[in-house]
Amino acid sequence: MITFFPGPSRVYPQVAQWLQEAYQEGILSISHRSQRFNELSEKTITLLKQKLNIPADYCVLYTSSATENWEIISQSFAQKQTLHYYNGSFGERWYEYAKHILPATLGFSFGIQETIAVERIKQDITTDTEIICITQNETSNGTQWKLDKLQALRQAFPQQLIAVDTTSSMAGLALPFETADIWYASVQKCFGLPAGLGLLVLSPKAVAHGLQKDDGGRYNSFKKMYSNIKKWQTNYTPSVLHIYLLYKVLETMPTIQEVHQTVLSRAIAYKNAVQNATSIQLLIQNEEAISDTVIAVAATPSVIEKCKKEAKEVGILLGNGYGEWKENTFRIANFPALQDDEVALMLNLLKKW
């Protein structure tokens, strides 16, 4: 079965071989305080920055998931209040985690066909707001903040930190890292790896904020993480296997500009196919709001059932709808690990529907 689920998602076919190699190279039992680990970790972070175009002065940390990053952001980078905009399940969950940690957290929901203007944020923000939090790609309903809008946000709010959930776009799109301070992802989406590793990318400004807050005594306290990563290490025993797999993926991956172009041209093909189909339609009609890495397709529940069944017959597993969209949508992961022939198979189905 070829899975088009947007996470956990299709892993790169080479993963099978890399797992074997990890075992043979004896990497699975190395100590996370050893020279060998330090070298693997250093070269992985160095290559990540190089391949994804992350500025040299940014800090990259290993965590265990995107969900964990939600907690770390409120616990380590804010004292009083973060400000959230959400239109789907992941953004909303981030807001809820944040509110649990900092009760003064502000959150505003918006419609799936809408976008949030800078002017609107100027009205909502307070003198206590330290971080503006946006879900760049909302995996649950296939919406996104266009990347070219981040620059305007940066210019309008030079004082606050800007945090961006890119769990389902990092390593798929060329992200403008210099326009925000906190970026994160987990590897089971666009990285094409099995779940179990999160990444947190921080600007020098975010690091400076983090060092001001006393967040000691916690599992992934930023201060502790920061002192460990200077030695390329983590606070806890990490999944060395995942770090190894991440290195391997990065090593084989083309430049992010090239990946970005592939993702965009496939996105256009998917959108055209759905728009030309008769029984299905795009859930997101607004060009400014529709995602490039997760395509949500809407239809009646019976058509959705039929599509899933027909897809299965040709070996394709469609992504289920999520949350309130469970019955009347399916989702197509437009992630780089999907191969050209698999994309062609998917497009043929869409054209038929």
Ligand X SMILES: *Cc1c(COP(=O)(O)O)cnc(C)c1O
Instruction: Name the residues that contact ligand X, by CB under 6 A.
Output: 7, 65-67, 90, 135, 137, 139, 165, 167-168, 186, 189, 198
Nearer to ligand X, 106 or 333 (CB): 333
Cβ nearer to ligand X, comparing 137 with 221: 137
Q: How far is the CB of 339 from ligand X (least distance, A)?
A: 22
Show the tokens assigned to 147: 């990347």
For the CB of residue 319, give the shortest distance to ligand X in the complex, in Å: 11
Pull the structure tokens for residue 37.
Answer: 């680990």
Q: What angle do CA 192, 193, 195 make, to 5 degrees?
A: 125
Residue whose C-alpha is closest to residue 333's, from 89, 342, 325, 302: 342
How many angstroms from the chain centroid is the CA of residue 285? Answer: 22
CB of 48 to ligand X, least distance (A): 17
Residue found by looking up tokens 């430049």 in the block:
255
CB neighbours (10 Å) of residue 29? 7
- Rounded to 5 degrees, what are φ and ψ at 82? -115, 160
CA torsion 99-102-108-109 (nearest 10°) is -20
Nearer to ligand X by Cβ, of 172 and 210: the residue is 172
For 195-241, the DSSP string reads S--EEEEE-HHHHHHHHHS--TTSTT-HHHHHHHHTTT--SS---HH
Q: How far is the CB of 88 from ligand X (least distance, A)?
A: 8
Q: Looking at beta carbons only, is 83 or 273 nearer to ligand X?
A: 83
Please report how close the Cβ of residue 197 comes to ligand X at its closest, in angstroms.
9
SS3 84: strand
Shortest Å, Cβ 212 to ligand X: 26
Cβ atoms of 47 and 39 within 8 Å: the answer is: no
Nearer to ligand X, 170 or 174 (CB): 170
Between 139 and 334, CB nearer to ligand X: 139
